[in-house]
Structure formats: C-alpha cells, structure tokens
Amino acid sequence: MRVAPYLFSAVCGFGFMSLTYAHEETHDHKHHEHHEHHEHEGHRHHGAHVHGMATLDLVMDDQELMLHLQSPLMNFLGFEHEPETEQQKAIYQDMLQQLERKDSLLTVEGTTCQAESIEIEDPFANQDEAGHADVDVSYFLRCEQPDKITGLKINLFDLYNRLETLQVQMVLPTGQQQLELNPQRTTIRIN
C-alpha cells in the first residue's frame, strides 16, 4: 500500500512538465497552459527546506525515466534572493545552464538515455516569507534499454559542494526504494 502515495506524488510532481513533452502516445497527461503559475499541491510534498539537503524523485516506467529534483537554492547558488549584482546574475545563469543538462544531474550506466525534456521552475515564484527558495527541476529521459541500467551516478555533488545529502525516492518496475546519497556515495545501484 505504500507504493500508491509515492506514485501519486511523483506523478503529481511531474505534472507541470507535460508542457514541453514531445507528444507521444504514452504521455497524454493533461497539459497545463501556464506551468510557471502552476502552484501544485504536490510541489513541496517533502516539506523540509534544509540547506545542504535535496530530494530526488525517480520514476522508471517502460523506456522512460522521470526525475524530479528539489533543492534549496542555497545549495546551488550560495544565496536564495533574486540575483542583484552582476556577479550574482552570472552565478544564477550558470546554475540554470548546468541544471538544463542531464549530465549535470546524472550519468546512466548500462544504456543510453536521451533527455526529452528538462524543465526548471522559477525558484522565486514560490519564495516563502523568510526569503527561502527552492529550485525544482524535472528531467524526462528516454532510455534505449532500461532493463540494462545498472546504476545511476549522481553528478551534482561534483558540481555543488554545498550539497551534502540527497534523499532519493524511486519507483522502479521492481518496486519502490528509498536511499540517501552524499559526496561519498553518489551512485544508485539498480538490479
């Protein structure tokens, strides 16, 4: 019975991605007109905003690998307000460019996966009163032979040394799993 809520929250979290999906028969989610205004009830389903920690939801389904990363902006920027100085603006743009590449997030071991869509939510749209902000990124990958995947190496720790812990929730064809990664343990073993 614990699979269902995970599936729900994962699907929930991925809902806003549908805007940029290549249209394919297996993904006929309802399309949201304005994902940037989409205040999803599942958005902060992990609740905690703790600097140094981030969460990654992962759903593997058929040939598709969907990942949703949520992290305090602090982990990637060193600040959480809107960039003001030229230097801050540059740091922010660098972060966006990094996160828009699947290789920044992970290396898939055992098969080849192509990014079909990567979507970054505006972190300042949901800033709380205390000025804390999260960045949410959704990655939609299509893998050639998903059953051959042996591991997922998370590369974020190499790029962002403020990131200390990544809590991973996975829904795989074989079941659901939870684990914690850190700079010393960066690979999710599969099968």
**Footprint on this chain of Zn ion (rule: CB under 5 A):** 72, 74, 80, 132
Question: Is the CB of 5 or the CB of 131 nearer to Zn ion?
Answer: 131
CB of 31 to Zn ion, least distance (A): 31
Question: Is the CB of 132 or the CB of 153 nearer to Zn ion?
Answer: 132
Please report how many Cα atoms fall inside a 13 Å half-sphere around the Cα of residue 113, on the Cβ side.
31
Please report the sign of the dihedral spanned by the C-alpha atoms of residue 85, residue 88, residue 90, residue 92.
negative
Contact yes or no for 31/114 (Cβ under 8 A)? no
Q: How far apart are CA 14 and CA 43, in angstroms?
A: 9
Q: How far apart are CA 27 and CA 18, in angstroms?
A: 8
CB of 172 to Zn ion, least distance (A): 31
Q: Which residue's Cβ has the minimum distance to Zn ion? A: 132
CB of 135 to Zn ion, least distance (A): 11
Query: Which residue(s) pair with 166 in the sheet?
Result: 54, 181
CB of 49 to Zn ion, least distance (A): 5
Question: Is the CB of 80 or the CB of 136 nearer to Zn ion?
Answer: 80
Q: How far apart are CA 141 and CA 136, in angstroms?
A: 16
How many beta carbons lie within 10 A of that of residue 145, not counting itself?
11
Q: In the numeric block, which tokens belong to residue 86?
A: 């030229």
Question: Is the CB of 21 or the CB of 124 nearer to Zn ion?
Answer: 124
CB of 169 to Zn ion, least distance (A): 21
SS3 111: coil
Question: Is the CB of 117 or the CB of 126 nearer to Zn ion?
Answer: 126
